[in-house]
Amino acid sequence: MIGGPYLHASLVTNFTQFGEGKLFGESKWGRDHFKRYARLYRPSFMLCWSPWARGFCRSNPDLVEVLDDDGTLLFARVHGFAGDAIEGTAQVDASPGRLVVRDCQPGVDGTVVLRYHSVPCLRTEPPTRWDPVFLEQDPTPFIRLHPTGGSVALEIRFPPDKGRGPGN
């Protein structure tokens, strides 16, 4: 889901936000810009309130199916960008701090690029080669896996605080 009235935040990771009249860094975005980034993020739904975004949805019924519109908020389903992988294919079960990736089919270069961002302290189980990859103008990299078969779990695991003992 993209959309929703977010608060102003000057964060690098806020590139994907849709709350200050911008979509992926542009204020006067059109069909090509939308498709370029929908290919990466693979949204299923949009919540729009600005005249520009509402007009975009109404003007692109092949991409966006309006499900409800109360005159202030427009809720729509996005078509054509299903799936968890940008390159290759994979099924992902996502929960807080954890992704379980299964049924990977690598792309032409032997990798699978997930629609999820890479973060510090990301670890794999079983150990699997992966690396961050920057796509388009997103300042936060995505996860690129080099699958070897079977499922792999990616988890955020912070290193232990060496200054603290058990129970402190």
Pairing of strands 130-133, 122-125: unpaired
State pLDDT tens for residues 29-77: 899 999 999 999 899 998 888 888 899 999 999 999 999 999 999 999 9
The whole model's pTM is what? 0.79
State pLDDT tens for residues 76-88: 999 999 999 999 9
Give alpha helix (H) positions in 48-135.
Answer: 51-59
Q: Can you tell me the distance from the alpha carbon of 46 to that of 42, in angstroms, rounded to the nearest whole number?
A: 11
Structure tokens at 98: 């954890």
